[in-house]
Amino acid sequence: MVDFSTISPHLNVKISPKAKRLALRLDAHAGCINLVIPKRASIKSAYAFAESNQSWIEDKISNLPRPIPFSHGQVIPLMGKDRTIKIIHSDKKYTEINVLDDVIEVKTQLENPSARIQRALRLYAEKELKTLADAKAASINRKLTHFCVRDMKSRWGSCSKDGRMTLSWRLAFAPPHAFDYVIAHESAHLIHDNHGKDFWKLCAELSTDYTTGKEWMRLNGIHLGRYGKYPSPAQETPEE
């Protein structure tokens, strides 16, 4: 069996029936490089391809943003406010998490409650983002029929004319002008199902500063995945 970890411990092998050629894809928030191998390609040729790009792999891994864990003392930007995670030992069997003005208070008996913290922050983000989205929709005489948050792989949100909106809960870690832009963008799709002139005009009306918000997301959006645990969108890179 070929050991790809000898090239890099951060290399993750994926056999794809749809792929037509060997490719390396950066998965920024999982902290790895995906080696995509077509079903008919030989493992030997895949190893040689990865080995020939070893310096590229090492360079990409070394330049990944440092992960930010949900641990005691960590400062997290949440819905426009920096809040410090404060973990307090508790003898209770259940974990209690409260998002306060400048503190995320975690009372738990768990040694590592990061998964519980992530779940609680996701629920908090859903509530806050929904409030903002409902307000945007109401301002253009529309109403959301369904709203949810997810870890989205290729975009920050989606919305249909019938009022179904989905947002990435990671927007909660962005600054206000950035998540405001994304919500305005998706809300504009309640009326326009394209990205034409009228769409962008409405987007500008719905957002406090959509140009800077859009630019911030373009430059920094990928970094939102480093909070806690998140599989980020794959980015295609050198091919055979």
Quick check: is 193 in a domain? yes
- The pLDDT tens digits for 180-200 are 999 999 999 999 999 999 999
Judge contact between 178 and 213, C-beta under 8 A.
yes
CATH code for position 167: 3.30.2010.10
Nearest to 122 by CA among 9, 23, 227, 236: 227
User: What is the mean pLDDT of the segment spanning 13-33?
Assistant: 85
Q: Do β-strands 234-239 and 164-168 pair in parallel, antiparallel, or remain unpaired? A: unpaired
User: What is the mean pLDDT of the segment spanning 201-215?
Assistant: 94
What pTM, to 2 d.p., does this model score?
0.79
* pLDDT, position 58: 92
Would you say residue 230 has pLDDT above 70?
A: no
Q: Is 128 helix (H, G, I), strand (E, B) or coil?
A: helix
Among 64, 89, 115, identify where a domain stops: 64
Could you tell me if 110 and 173 lie in one domain?
A: yes
Quick check: is 236 in a domain? no
DSSP state of 89: E
User: What is the mean pLDDT of the segment spanning 51-67?
Assistant: 88
pLDDT band at 231 (very low <50, low <70, confident <90, very high): very low
Could you tell me if 57 and 94 lie in one domain?
A: no
Residue 156 has a CB neighbour count (10 Å cut-off) of 21
Could you tell me if 59 and 81 lie in one domain?
A: no
